[in-house]
Protein backbone atom coordinates (compact mmCIF):
# COMPACT_ATOMS: atom_id res chain seq x y z
CA UNK A 1 0.00 0.00 0.00
CA UNK A 2 1.43 3.37 -1.00
CA UNK A 3 1.22 6.54 1.05
CA UNK A 4 -0.86 9.38 -0.33
CA UNK A 5 1.05 12.35 -1.69
CA UNK A 6 1.53 15.05 0.92
CA UNK A 7 -0.66 17.60 -0.89
CA UNK A 8 -3.49 15.06 -1.03
CA UNK A 9 -3.13 14.30 2.67
CA UNK A 10 -3.34 18.02 3.44
CA UNK A 11 -6.51 18.43 1.31
CA UNK A 12 -8.93 18.20 4.27
CA UNK A 13 -7.18 21.25 5.76
CA UNK A 14 -8.23 23.43 2.79
CA UNK A 15 -11.20 25.05 4.57
CA UNK A 16 -9.11 25.75 7.67
CA UNK A 17 -6.48 27.40 5.46
CA UNK A 18 -9.14 29.51 3.77
CA UNK A 19 -10.39 30.71 7.18
CA UNK A 20 -6.79 31.43 8.24
CA UNK A 21 -6.23 33.64 5.20
CA UNK A 22 -9.68 35.32 5.35
CA UNK A 23 -8.85 36.57 8.85
CA UNK A 24 -5.50 37.98 7.75
CA UNK A 25 -6.03 39.29 4.21
CA UNK A 26 -8.40 42.20 3.51
CA UNK A 27 -9.12 41.18 -0.10
CA UNK A 28 -11.25 38.00 -0.19
CA UNK A 29 -10.30 37.48 -3.84
CA UNK A 30 -6.74 36.62 -2.74
CA UNK A 31 -7.73 33.81 -0.37
CA UNK A 32 -8.04 31.04 -2.98
CA UNK A 33 -4.71 32.06 -4.56
CA UNK A 34 -2.96 31.93 -1.19
CA UNK A 35 -4.43 28.49 -0.40
CA UNK A 36 -3.28 27.33 -3.83
CA UNK A 37 0.22 28.67 -3.11
CA UNK A 38 0.33 26.60 0.08
CA UNK A 39 -0.56 23.41 -1.80
CA UNK A 40 1.88 24.24 -4.61
CA UNK A 41 4.71 24.59 -2.08
CA UNK A 42 3.73 21.37 -0.36
CA UNK A 43 3.59 19.51 -3.70
CA UNK A 44 7.00 20.90 -4.68
CA UNK A 45 8.60 19.71 -1.44
CA UNK A 46 11.67 17.66 -2.29
CA UNK A 47 12.23 15.98 1.03
CA UNK A 48 10.97 12.45 1.57
CA UNK A 49 11.17 12.91 5.33
CA UNK A 50 7.95 12.11 7.14
CA UNK A 51 6.13 15.00 8.74
CA UNK A 52 5.28 14.51 12.40
CA UNK A 53 2.33 16.88 12.57
CA UNK A 54 0.81 17.58 9.17
CA UNK A 55 -1.55 20.33 10.37
CA UNK A 56 1.29 22.27 11.99
CA UNK A 57 3.42 21.88 8.86
CA UNK A 58 0.63 23.10 6.56
CA UNK A 59 -0.04 26.16 8.71
CA UNK A 60 3.68 26.92 8.92
CA UNK A 61 3.77 26.88 5.11
CA UNK A 62 0.69 29.14 5.14
CA UNK A 63 2.47 31.59 7.47
CA UNK A 64 5.45 31.62 5.08
CA UNK A 65 3.16 32.23 2.09
CA UNK A 66 1.55 35.13 3.97
CA UNK A 67 4.95 36.59 4.89
CA UNK A 68 6.14 36.31 1.27
CA UNK A 69 2.95 38.06 0.12
CA UNK A 70 3.65 40.89 2.55
CA UNK A 71 7.23 41.27 1.34
CA UNK A 72 6.11 41.28 -2.30
CA UNK A 73 3.41 43.87 -1.62
CA UNK A 74 5.88 46.06 0.27
CA UNK A 75 8.61 45.86 -2.36
CA UNK A 76 6.15 46.52 -5.19
CA UNK A 77 4.41 49.27 -3.19
CA UNK A 78 1.07 47.54 -3.81
CA UNK A 79 -0.77 49.78 -1.36
CA UNK A 80 0.22 52.85 -3.38
CA UNK A 81 -1.44 51.61 -6.58
CA UNK A 82 -4.52 53.41 -7.80
CA UNK A 83 -7.33 51.45 -9.45
CA UNK A 84 -7.99 52.28 -13.09
CA UNK A 85 -10.91 54.67 -13.54
CA UNK A 86 -11.83 55.41 -17.18
CA UNK A 87 -13.23 58.85 -16.28
CA UNK A 88 -10.02 59.83 -14.51
CA UNK A 89 -7.38 58.02 -16.55
CA UNK A 90 -9.08 58.04 -19.93
CA UNK A 91 -9.83 55.02 -22.03
CA UNK A 92 -8.81 56.40 -25.42
CA UNK A 93 -5.04 56.38 -24.97
CA UNK A 94 -4.38 55.39 -28.56
CA UNK A 95 -6.85 57.64 -30.30
CA UNK A 96 -4.82 58.91 -33.29
CA UNK A 97 -6.41 62.38 -33.20
CA UNK A 98 -5.65 62.76 -29.52
CA UNK A 99 -2.04 61.64 -30.07
CA UNK A 100 -1.64 64.08 -32.94
CA UNK A 101 -3.11 66.92 -30.87
CA UNK A 102 -0.76 66.06 -27.99
CA UNK A 103 2.26 66.09 -30.29
CA UNK A 104 1.18 69.43 -31.73
CA UNK A 105 0.71 70.89 -28.22
CA UNK A 106 4.18 69.68 -27.25
CA UNK A 107 5.71 71.16 -30.40
CA UNK A 108 4.04 74.52 -29.69
CA UNK A 109 5.19 74.48 -26.06
CA UNK A 110 8.80 73.75 -27.04
CA UNK A 111 8.64 76.45 -29.70
CA UNK A 112 7.28 78.95 -27.17
CA UNK A 113 9.99 78.04 -24.66
CA UNK A 114 12.68 78.53 -27.30
CA UNK A 115 11.31 82.03 -28.00
CA UNK A 116 12.09 83.07 -24.41
CA UNK A 117 15.39 84.76 -23.61
CA UNK A 118 17.94 82.14 -22.44
CA UNK A 119 18.01 83.22 -18.78
CA UNK A 120 14.19 83.37 -18.54
CA UNK A 121 13.96 79.94 -20.20
CA UNK A 122 16.55 78.50 -17.80
CA UNK A 123 14.72 79.88 -14.77
CA UNK A 124 11.38 78.56 -16.03
CA UNK A 125 12.80 75.08 -16.67
CA UNK A 126 14.54 74.97 -13.29
CA UNK A 127 11.42 76.07 -11.43
CA UNK A 128 8.55 74.39 -13.29
CA UNK A 129 10.13 71.30 -14.79
CA UNK A 130 12.83 70.46 -12.25
CA UNK A 131 10.89 71.70 -9.22
CA UNK A 132 13.62 73.93 -7.81
CA UNK A 133 12.76 76.59 -5.23
CA UNK A 134 12.99 80.27 -6.16
CA UNK A 135 15.69 80.95 -3.55
CA UNK A 136 17.74 77.98 -4.79
CA UNK A 137 17.59 79.24 -8.39
CA UNK A 138 18.57 82.75 -7.29
CA UNK A 139 21.60 81.39 -5.42
CA UNK A 140 22.61 79.13 -8.30
CA UNK A 141 22.40 81.95 -10.88
CA UNK A 142 23.75 84.67 -8.60
CA UNK A 143 20.68 86.90 -8.88
CA UNK A 144 18.03 88.10 -6.43
CA UNK A 145 14.87 86.19 -5.58
CA UNK A 146 12.92 89.14 -6.98
CA UNK A 147 14.72 88.79 -10.32
CA UNK A 148 13.84 85.08 -10.45
CA UNK A 149 10.18 85.93 -9.76
CA UNK A 150 10.19 88.57 -12.52
CA UNK A 151 11.64 86.07 -15.02
CA UNK A 152 8.96 83.55 -14.02
CA UNK A 153 6.20 86.13 -14.51
CA UNK A 154 7.62 87.03 -17.92
CA UNK A 155 7.79 83.35 -18.93
CA UNK A 156 4.26 82.61 -17.75
CA UNK A 157 2.85 85.64 -19.56
CA UNK A 158 4.63 84.65 -22.76
CA UNK A 159 3.46 81.06 -22.58
CA UNK A 160 -0.14 82.02 -21.80
CA UNK A 161 -0.22 84.45 -24.76
CA UNK A 162 1.25 81.78 -27.04
CA UNK A 163 -1.26 79.19 -25.80
CA UNK A 164 -4.26 81.50 -26.30
CA UNK A 165 -3.06 82.68 -29.68
CA UNK A 166 -2.08 79.38 -31.26
CA UNK A 167 -4.01 76.58 -29.63
- In a domain, residue 42? The reply is yes
Quick one: 74 and 33 in the same domain?
Answer: yes
pTM across the whole model: 0.46
Residue 34 has pLDDT above 50, yes or no: yes
- In a domain, residue 87? The reply is no
Quick one: 116 and 74 in the same domain?
Answer: no
Mean pLDDT of 19-25: 94
Mean pLDDT of 76-81: 81
Mean pLDDT of 14-30: 92
Quick one: 74 and 134 in the same domain?
Answer: no
Quick one: 11 and 60 in the same domain?
Answer: yes
The number of folded domains in the chain is: 2
- In a domain, residue 51? The reply is yes
Residue 167 has pLDDT above 50, yes or no: no
Domain containing 148: what range?
108-166
Residue 166 has pLDDT above 60, yes or no: no
Closest residue by Cα to residue 17 from 52, 63, 50, 51: 63
Specify the CATH number for the domain of residue 139: 1.10.10.10
The string over 24-55, giving b where at least 16 C-beta atoms fall within 10 Å of a residue's C-beta and e elsewhere, is ebeeeeebeebbebbbebbeeeeeeeeeeeee
Closest residue by Cα to residue 45 from 70, 9, 21, 1: 9
- In a domain, residue 127? The reply is yes
Reported as a single tens digit per residue, the pLDDT across 113-131 is: 999 999 999 999 999 989 9
pLDDT of res. 83 = 81
Higher-confidence position of 151 and 101: 151
Amino acid sequence: MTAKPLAEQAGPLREGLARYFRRRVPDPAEVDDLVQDVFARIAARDSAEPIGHLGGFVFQVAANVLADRGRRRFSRKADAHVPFEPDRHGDEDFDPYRLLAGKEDLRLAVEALLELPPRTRTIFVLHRLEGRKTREIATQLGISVSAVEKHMIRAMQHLSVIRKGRV
